[in-house]
Amino acid sequence: MIETLDLFTSEECVKINSTIHDLKNSWDRRNEIFPFFTLGVPAYLDADRFSLQSRYLPKASKHNVVLGENLGWMYERLAEGLSSHLSASVKFHPTYSFPGFHIYLYNEVFRRDDVALPHFDLQFQNLVWEERVDFDNSLSITMAIALPQSGSGMLYWDLQYTEVDECNRRRLHELKESRTRKYFGYDPGKLVIHTGNFLHQVGLFQDPNPEDERITLQGHMAFYHGSWHLYW
C-alpha cells in the first residue's frame, strides 16, 4: 500500500529547505489564523472545472517558472528516481502545477487531530483530462523536507474509496470509527508513494516547540500515453 524511495540526503534537504524559505514571497497563506502555506498550486485548493482557465492554469504557469528556476535539480532527480523505481517514463504534466510544498510553521493548534481532515486524494476531479486516465490506479507522492523534532508523518485507515464513494458523511464516519487508525512516520529525503485511494490524514506536530516546522513535497501521478505524468 505504501512504498518508499530514498532520493535526497539530509544535506540536500537542508538545501531545498533554504531555497523554499528564500521563496517566501511566493508562498500562499491558506489559513487566516494558523501558519499553513503552500508553495506551488495544489488542485485541491486552487482548481475547479469552472475556474480552471482563469485561475489555476495561469497561477500554475507562473509558479512552475519560479519552482523550475530555483529547484530544477530537485525535480530532475525526482523524475529520474521515480522512473527507475516504476520502470516507466516519468514526465511533468505540460500545463498543470509541478509538485509543490505544504508548509506548516509552529503553532500549538497543530497538536490537534482535527486541524487536517481525513480524505481521499480526489484532486483530479477538479481538473480536466483530455486523456483517458485510470484514477483507480493513480499515485500520490509525499516527501518530508523538514520535520518537527518529535517527528511527523501520515495517519491512515484501511478504508478504500470504493467502499465509501456513495456513502453519506455519517456512514463514512461510522466506517472510519470501525477501522484502526495507523501511523506512518516520515524521514527527510525519503519519498513516500501510495495510491491516495485509502483514507488518510496529515499527521502534524506531536510535541511542537517554537523552532519546529513541517515542510513536505506533495504531488500526484496520472498514467497515460505510456508515461506517468506528475502534477499537483
Query: What backbone phi and psi angles, to 5 degrees, belong to 165?
Result: -65, -20
CB of 217 within 8 A of CB of 100? Answer: yes
The C-alpha cell at 93 is: 504534466
CA 193 from centre of chain: 10
Say how many CA atoms lie within 13 Å of 187 toward its Cβ: 9
DSSP string, 67-116: HHHHHHHHHHHHHHHHHHHHTSEEEE-SSSPPPEEEEEE--GGGGSTTSS
pLDDT tens, N- to C-terminus, the chain (232 residues): 799 999 999 999 999 999 999 999 999 999 998 999 999 999 999 998 788 888 999 999 999 999 999 999 999 999 999 999 999 999 999 999 999 999 999 888 887 777 788 999 999 999 999 889 999 999 999 999 999 998 999 999 999 999 987 778 778 888 989 999 999 999 999 999 999 999 999 987 777 788 899 999 999 999 999 999 999 9
Q: Find the helix or strand (DSSP H, E) in which 156 lies.
A: strand 153-160
Give the strand pairing for 89-92 and 100-105.
unpaired
Coil/strand/helix, residue 167: coil
Task: Determine whether domain 2-231 maps to CATH 2.60.120.620.
Answer: yes
Q: Find the helix or strand (DSSP H, E) in which 57 lies.
A: helix 57-86
pTM (2 d.p.):
0.94
Say how many CA atoms lie within 13 Å of 110 toward its Cβ: 28
